[in-house]
Amino acid sequence: MGSFVVEGGHRLEGRIRPAGNKNAALPCLAATMLAAEPVTLQNIPRIRDVETFLEILVSLGAEVTWGGPHEVTVDAREVRRASIDEGLARQIRASVLLAGPLLARFGQVKLPPPGGDVIGRRRMDTHFLAFERLGAKVSLDSGFTIEAAELRGCDVFLDEPSVTGTENAIMAAVRAKGLTKLRNAAAEPHVQDLCHLLNAMGANISGIGTHVLEIEGVQELGGATYRVGADHIETGSFIGLAAVTKSDLTIEGAPVEHLDSTLLGFSRLGIECEIRGDDLFVHGAAEHHVRQDAFGQVPKVDDGPWPAFPADLTSIALVAATQCHGTVLIHEKMFESRMYFTDKLVAMGATIVLCDPHRAVVVGPVALQGGVVESPDIRAGMALLIAALGAEGTSRIHNIRQIERGYEAIDARLTSLGARIRRDERTDW
């Protein structure tokens, strides 16, 4: 799988632009299965998860054409099957996003269990609840089969605001007969991107950006050209990078309209950012002091459903906290295995008490030391890369495939800022 060899302790400088939103690109690619004409998506990141998802679409019979570095056109008119290859499905969690559009198109779909990061239990029950409310029957075996003679609009209250559950429900409902009211829906920027794309294709979705969506079903969806928004998670990762490496950085074309909770969370660590038009300037070189709560209470950075602080940034915030003066509680409420990577940071010198699978107390600042670590998932992998860049000495990060599933050409992009990263393709370490 190769590794990154990182020489830490060097300040960075310059400008970096976040790639297109990975978590928007994947559901938007799934939505192309609903179109009776080609769909062109712009600002699509060239990452492993996108390439794997496109392999799945091709295996179903779709024609995929890259029209530029970040523009892809999908023509799904020749798709004739609604069964996903098990090997491909297990490589990526997002394979589950094909359940909704294939069910709406063919009246049935068969999927093996999806793969993805091992960050804790990731329920499928919300997906099944929505499909059943729309009139489908779900059968569970080694994977799952969903069938519906006709999808019918109805009132659906999701048992949790699951992002992928919401997206699957939306893609099924746009072809259901009548009106669907989807309550307790996820409202993340990537869910909004999916809705805007579907409307461009001819769907009728209102309430976008809220937790209540109304979807009037249509008989057919056509082609469209749509630009996916910038990745707010990658933007947050670069904020953490600036703080840990004590670097002033400009993030170009940042999705500032989606950064309220992210900026608030990092400000609790004393990391300040300045919005300059469409750019975000991170005052990373300054001293960062954790802001205590009223009466001297230990503050916390905790995640939650949008618009709360994103769960995908808790790993980044935790690493950033190791370089801030003070004590802070990082509370990851959603996934019980995401914080297990903290033992690798402790081995690098961090002062962290892992209270339980969801909570860690971080005391900083500390001088991190380079080490040999392995990336367990996309976000923890990026967090470890950031830690290595801020550490004294040399680090080696194994299993970089995980990082590259979510961050496009990250070694080259960070090297352009002055980072010292060398890729080692040998696998015999």
Query: Which positions are catalytic?
Result: 117
Bridge partners for 38 per DSSP: none
Cα(269)–Cα(330) distance, rounded to whole angstroms? 11
SS3 269: coil
What does the angle CA 382 – CA 258 – CA 230 come to, to the nearest 5 degrees? 60
Separation of alpha carbons 346 and 369, rounded Å: 10
Q: Contact 402/377 with Cβ under 8 angstroms?
A: yes
Contact predicate 78/118, CB 8 Å: no
Q: Using an 8 Å Cβ cutoff, are 167 and 185 in contact?
A: no
Taking the C-alpha atoms of residue 309 and residue 324, their distance in angstroms, rounded to an integer, is 19
Q: How far is CA 411 from CA 20, 203, 348, in A?
A: 17, 39, 21
For residue 360, give Cα distances in angstroms to 42, 325, 333, 353.
39, 16, 11, 6
Q: What share of residues in the chain are helix, strand, coil (percent, to 5)? A: 35, 25, 40
DSSP string for 187-246:
--HHHHHHHHHHHHTT-EEE-TTSSEEEEE--S-B--EEEEPPB-HHHHHHHHHHHHHTT
Sign of the torsion formed by the C-alpha atoms of 145, 151, 153 and 154: negative
For residue 139, give the amino acid letter. S
Burial category of 117 from C-beta neighbours within 10 Å (exposed 0-12, middle 13-18, buried 19 and up) = buried
Nearest to 370, CA basis, from 337, 396, 351: 396
Q: How far apart are CA 389 and CA 76, in angstroms?
A: 43
